[in-house]
Amino acid sequence: MNKWLELLIGLILVVGAIVIAFYSSDWWGEFWNFKNAAWVVFKGGVFWAIVGIGILFVLLGISDLKG
């Protein structure tokens, strides 16, 4: 596929997703509110990233205690 066509399709999809997320609560009501769903997924990702970093530090601390 042409690199410019891929870039154009990618931009259309990204802009389309942003527009749909922004207007979804107005168009389809609260059930199809994609902006809220994206925010919930983002908050969950931040939570699990913090948990993962904490586990990493615990494992590094245990490794330092052994050596």
Q: What is the pLDDT, as a whole number, of residue 67?
A: 65
Q: What is the pLDDT at residue 59?
A: 92
Instruction: Give the Cα separation of 26 and 33 in Å (integer).
Output: 8
Instruction: Kindly state the average pLDDT of the residues 36-49.
Output: 93
Split into its structural domains, the chain has a count of 1
In angstroms, the Cα distances linking 14 to 4, 29, 49, 64 are 15, 22, 25, 45
pTM for the full model?
0.63
Mean pLDDT of the chain: 88
Distances (CA, A) of 29 to 17, 21, 40: 17, 12, 17
Q: List the domain range (segments joined by +) for residue 42.
A: 3-66
Task: Provide CB contacts within 8 A for 40, sequence distance 6+.
Answer: none
